[in-house]
Amino acid sequence: MDITRNIARFSWSSCIMNKKTWIVILLFVHILLCDCNASQPKIKVNSRQSCMNGTNTGQQRVQVEFSSQIVENEFIVAFKGYYSNSARAGFISAALREAGVTSWHLLPRHNPATDYPSDFELIKIGSHIADGIDALENHFNIRQVTPQKLVTRTLKYINETDEDRAEGNEVDKEDLQSHKGPPCNESDKADPCWTQKYHSSRPRTHRGPSSLAGAFWFSEVRHKNRKLLRAIPRQITTALQAEVLWGMGYTGAGIKVAIFDTGLSVDHPHFKSGRVKDRTNWTNEKTLDDGLGHGTFVAGVISSHRECMGFAPDADLYIFRVFTNNQVSYTSWFLDAFNYAILKKINVLNLSIGGPDFMDHPFVDKVWELTANKVIMVSAIGNDGPLYGTLNNPADQMDVIGVGGINFEHQIARFSSRGMTTWELPGGYGRVKPDIVTYGSAVRGSAIKGGCRSLSGTSVASPVVAGAVSLLASAVINRANVINPASMKQALMASARRLPGVNMFEQGHGRLDLVKAYQILRSYKPQASLSPSYIDLTECPYMWPYCSQPIYYGMIPAIVNITILNGMGVTGKIVDKPLWQPFTPQYGNHIEIAFSYSNTLWPWSGYLAVAISVSKSAASWEGIAQGQVTLTIESPAEDGEDTPRTSIVKLPVKVKVIPTPPRGKRVLWDQYHNLRYPPGYFPRDNLRMKNDPLDWNGDHIHTNFKDMYQHLRTSGYFVEVLGSPFTCFDAKQYGTLLVVDSEEEFFPEEIVKLKRDIANGLSVVVFADWYNVSVMRKVKFYDENTRQWWMPDTGGANIPALNDLLAPLGMAFSDQVYEGDFTFGDHEMYYASGTSIARFPTDGLLITESLKNQGYEVMKGESVTVDSVPILGLHEPGKGSGRVVLYGDSNCLDNSHLQKECFWLLDALLEYSSHGNVPPIFTERKSSLTFTSTELPERMEGNHLYRYSKVLESHLGTPQSRPLPACPHLSFSQPSPLNISAPTNLYKHNKLLSIGLEPPLPFINNPGVDGALPGIRDAPGSLNWDLGPGANMHSSENTNVFPVIAFLGTALVLVFLVNHMYKSKSKPRRKKPRIKKIHHALYGSPSRVPGV
């Protein structure tokens, strides 16, 4: 506790628990180990539980349902360790004999695992069941006895309806209840721990040191969950068929692997002697050893050679200790450690760490520098799923292999971060990440003191790939000159197996296939490739969200951000310009394409953003249009070549075009005025979410407003994203402008234009959020990474800026912060830290509610309920004009920390804004509140919003607006039509060019490549993990036995000596003669010796 307090100090709360959880949020990096327990709905026995498959597939999704019931008289006896069949039977019969239970028998299990020691047994008891169970539970080798359950699972497709959301709520409620924890230690009356009873539905405790104990070890709950899944293989290497490569004699030899983690002890039994080449410490703790177990586990997955196998047992390990035992780490430690890694000419580097700050330039630059020096970086994508927009740096960089997690059922693990990158917002569109997924849930690896344990998290998935990459690199070590970060990534992507029903922003290119990647690498020829390798905007669900909305004339162009990987050299460029070739027979001329791309592809990668738009000729056309983009990539000559290396890449394009929808159906989402972390401290929109203080998911309809977007699509609205100022769109095209939770200032020109647009029929719907200067000062905190106090630059939303925008309409929001549950019609609502309306035209429709004054609560610690808080206002300024709607809270639309959604409200408001129909639910509740003139909120004195703003001038003193930037102008590429047709299905396993024909694999013993998991079966002879039952248990006991014996022995000797002395004291006479005798012998005179 003391140590964690040193890491960060927060002024807000006196609650110890909260201090712990706040801490790591702002540390730049954190270890990506998952605490799945907290984020998964708990499964109850006998309850019907439904698990959602990872993705929303547009209209449908797969639902896995299972029900379980207890089987009578059958019990699972779980032992404290792994024992052989006979030993288990012995224990049970001994226990039951004592209890006098005679009619019982073991239920045989027929599976390959029966030959191996197990830690449980199935038993059927005929009579005296209660006695029998008691006896079993009292046996010292038995951990617990549980009733046998029959689990029935069904798969079905269901439509994406309200059911989904209802379920979400259920989970949230459960979460709330389960977290209404113990009262906090309230030491300061003015600063009470008032948030303690609420927790997020998506706790991110894995980031905090406090979570470590809970997150690290598999807890009971997790075990219960696990039983419902398929069997978990004992060896992760078997699940990926590493034996195939081992069988060919490749074991990672000659490859230098760096592990940036919590260190490793020097004599861990799982590593071959001499393989740990170097251990260095870059932290301020003077040790090289792992005190957490994270580094040991990661190193084990990469190169353990006993018990739980790693992929490359003969690779040279370079251990970099960059995390303290308290999970503290600084950018500067990483910089120095990375420099050392470059100097040591590391081949593969695993980073099971990540953080949200992709604007940490020194770090990002250094990662580029590393890959530019041919270090293959593998990094974990993050454990912040299932929310979108949660990718972690450095895994989200183009030159890094970003790894997501799946479970052994080949579903995306719930914790795995996903969604596009948010670097490119607001003007552009994010890149596809993760690059690849692999097993990251319940993977077995090395424990800190020998033995094995299971862990989950993308932290685990990353070393799986890093180990596989090391093994691959050693298998093609004779072709070392073509192996580089790009070619390795290309091979992994091209060989990956796509998971069905999961979109590319969750799975990237799919699941790692080690053997196939090897085949590709063996014949790899340096070249460039694209990720994704084609654009098919009709393919669902893989190309979600593109496939969820067709394109039409007049739409803000759909942007696909393609990553170019260039295996030919660290630097390269696109020759001339990319060429757009519409296919004439397939109506390619109906679409127009514009490009923007990296001038230099460095290191090994670059981007190609493809903006797709519909030509005017197709304004009322409906159909599918196809074409292709061709680009030539060039890199300087290498290896004695005379001419530069070139590679021609083709990018097929396929889009669905529809006639332009009517104005009322078109909704414009304002992205331009949403700011997020990084770089600034933009606080959460829900003040109760103290363990997650930053607004960092991008606030985009395809990140944390994904469900809202999906709902609008289902309701028939077409949603476009405005990444430029209000002056840059044609208001006549749109029914409604949605301004949700905006943090940015507004240009004076925007304010003028919006007023005019409203008069001309554009409706505006604003979802604001809290803003109060005192509260903002209260939520400042000390960030230990930057060693600075962090003061928010706005509240949840920038109310003063919004008020400037709304002033011409006679509307304004207040600086009050309200919170509370209420009912609206028959809908349950939760107002999570919202503002209220301070001014509204008298002829407008205003709705009030009784809410708690949360601002007062934060400041004074007392809860006060306020009646008639105006939260919703509807107004139509004039005949023929658009309508304006204000609502004070945006949390019910936002997936992050969503507690009760209000998509129905958005529907109703859009019905009003687009068509002018006031739903009766509003008219019924019309309030006759009149405003007394209130002071409007002011901007906080000395705020630094100008640092992050696109609108404010960067200078000290009173902030001023910059000159209005020019609107982005797309210059569409000159088409060069081709009279050919493309196949209807663009997705094929994208082949990389190879040298010559692919030679067959000399040795393959991989039965059932894709079908059943090769799982539980082990390759005979190749492994020596079966050291006998409970090997790890025994070894740990052995170490404890010696000191005890030694201590007892010494104690015994001591007791004897004491006893002896006591005896000699109590019987002095026995000694006397002897002394006398000696004396006599020495001096010969007995007379002068005094008696004792």
Write out the catalytic residue numbers.
Answer: 261, 294, 459
Closest separation between CB of residue 678 and another protein, Å? Answer: 8
Closest separation between CB of residue 946 and another protein, Å? Answer: 8
Q: Which token pair is 807?
A: 């002033």
User: Does residue 788 touch another protein according to CB under 8 A?
Assistant: yes
Strands 276-281 and 118-125: unpaired
Residue placing its CB nearer to another protein in the complex, 88 or 256: 256
Binding segment for another protein among 633-641, 651-659, 688-696, 868-876 (CB under 8 A)?
633-641
User: Does residue 361 touch another protein according to CB under 8 A?
Assistant: yes
CB 101 within 8 A of CB 83: no
User: Does residue 106 touch another protein according to CB under 8 A?
Assistant: no
Site string for another protein, 48-77 (x = CB under 8 A): ------------------------------
Buried-exposed string 105-138: b where 16+ CB fall within 10 A, e elsewhere: eeeeeeeeeeeebbebbebebeebeeebbebbee
Closest separation between CB of residue 964 and another protein, Å? Answer: 19
Strands 763-767 and 118-125: unpaired
Q: Which of 71, 158, 288, 859 is the binder for another protein (CB under 8 A)?
A: 288
> Which residues within the stretch 567-586 sit at the binding site for another protein (CB under 8 A)?
570-571
Q: Which of 147, 636, 661, 861 is the binder for another protein (CB under 8 A)?
A: 636
| Axis crossing angle, helix 361-372 with helix 331-343, rounded to the nearest 10 | 10
CB 724 within 8 A of CB 427: yes
Q: Which residue's structure tokens are 């609205």?
A: 717
User: Does residue 640 touch another protein according to CB under 8 A?
Assistant: yes
Strands 256-261 and 316-321: parallel
Q: Which of 246, 311, 330, 544 is the binder for another protein (CB under 8 A)?
A: 330
Distance, in Å, from the CA atom of 101 to the CA atom of 95, rounded to the nearest integer, reads 9
Closest separation between CB of residue 337 and another protein, Å? Answer: 8
The one-letter amino acid code at 433 reads K
Residue placing its CB nearer to another protein in the complex, 305 or 366: 366
CB 501 within 8 A of CB 53: yes
Site string for another protein, 246-285 (x = CB under 8 A): --------------------x-------------xxx---
Buried-exposed string 926-941: b where 16+ CB fall within 10 A, e elsewhere: ebeeeeeeeebbebbe
Site string for another protein, 758-777 (x = CB under 8 A): --------------------
Q: Which of 639, 826, 843, 935 is the binder for another protein (CB under 8 A)?
A: 639
HSE-CB for 575 with a 13 A CA cutoff:
14
User: Does residue 333 touch another protein according to CB under 8 A?
Assistant: yes
Name residues whose C-beta falls within 8 Å of residue 1020's C-beta, 6 or more positions apart in sequence: none
Binding segment for another protein among 197-205, 597-605, 855-863, 960-968 (CB under 8 A)?
597-605
User: Does residue 961 touch another protein according to CB under 8 A?
Assistant: no
Residue placing its CB nearer to another protein in the complex, 29 or 95: 29
Whether the link from the prior residue into 394 is cis, omega within 30° of 0, is yes
User: Does residue 1050 touch another protein according to CB under 8 A?
Assistant: yes
User: Does residue 729 touch another protein according to CB under 8 A?
Assistant: no
The one-letter amino acid code at 49 reads Q
User: Does residue 947 touch another protein according to CB under 8 A?
Assistant: yes
**What residues does 678 pair with on adjacent strands?**
none
Nearest to 400 by CA among 359, 350, 355, 332: 350
User: Does residue 335 touch another protein according to CB under 8 A?
Assistant: yes
Residue placing its CB nearer to another protein in the complex, 41 or 263: 263
User: Does residue 99 touch another protein according to CB under 8 A?
Assistant: no
User: Does residue 1049 touch another protein according to CB under 8 A?
Assistant: yes
Binding segment for another protein among 42-50, 108-116, 372-380, 913-921 (CB under 8 A)?
372-380
Closest separation between CB of residue 571 and another protein, Å? Answer: 6
Binding segment for another protein among 186-194, 402-410, 649-657, 1052-1060 (CB under 8 A)?
1052-1060
Three-state SS letters, 347-397? CEEEECEEECCCCCHHHHHHHHHHHHCCCEEEEECCCCCCCECCCCECCCC
Binding segment for another protein among 35-43, 340-348, 908-916, 1020-1028 (CB under 8 A)?
340-348
Closest separation between CB of residue 1045 and another protein, Å? Answer: 8
Residue placing its CB nearer to another protein in the complex, 68 or 324: 324
DSSP letter at 999 equals: P
User: Does residue 314 touch another protein according to CB under 8 A?
Assistant: no
Distance, in Å, from the CA atom of 767 to the CA atom of 797, rounded to the nearest integer, reads 9
Name residues whose C-beta falls within 8 Å of residue 465's C-beta, 6 or more positions apart in sequence: 378, 401, 403, 436, 438, 492, 512
Q: Report the phi/psi class of residue 485: left, alpha or beta, with left for phi > 0 and alpha for psi in -120 to 50.
A: alpha
Binding segment for another protein among 180-188, 331-339, 722-730, 760-768 (CB under 8 A)?
331-339
Closest separation between CB of residue 266 and another protein, Å? Answer: 8
Residue placing its CB nearer to another protein in the complex, 1054 or 1078: 1054
User: Does residue 954 touch another protein according to CB under 8 A?
Assistant: yes
Whether the link from the prior residue into 678 is cis, omega within 30° of 0, is yes
Q: Which residue's structure tokens are 């109906």?
A: 590
Residue placing its CB nearer to another protein in the complex, 787 or 1088: 787
CB 301 within 8 A of CB 239: no
CB 640 within 8 A of CB 593: no
Q: What is the DSSP string of 761-775?
A: T-EEEEE-----HHH
Q: Which of 10, 28, 505, 840 is the binder for another protein (CB under 8 A)?
A: 28
Q: Which of 1056, 1067, 1075, 1078 is the binder for another protein (CB under 8 A)?
A: 1056
Residues of this chain that bind another protein (CB under 8 A):
28, 266, 280-282, 286-288, 330-333, 335-336, 339-340, 342-344, 357, 359-363, 365-366, 369, 372-374, 570-571, 600, 602-603, 636-641, 644, 679, 785-788, 946-948, 954, 1042-1043, 1045-1047, 1049-1050, 1052-1053, 1056
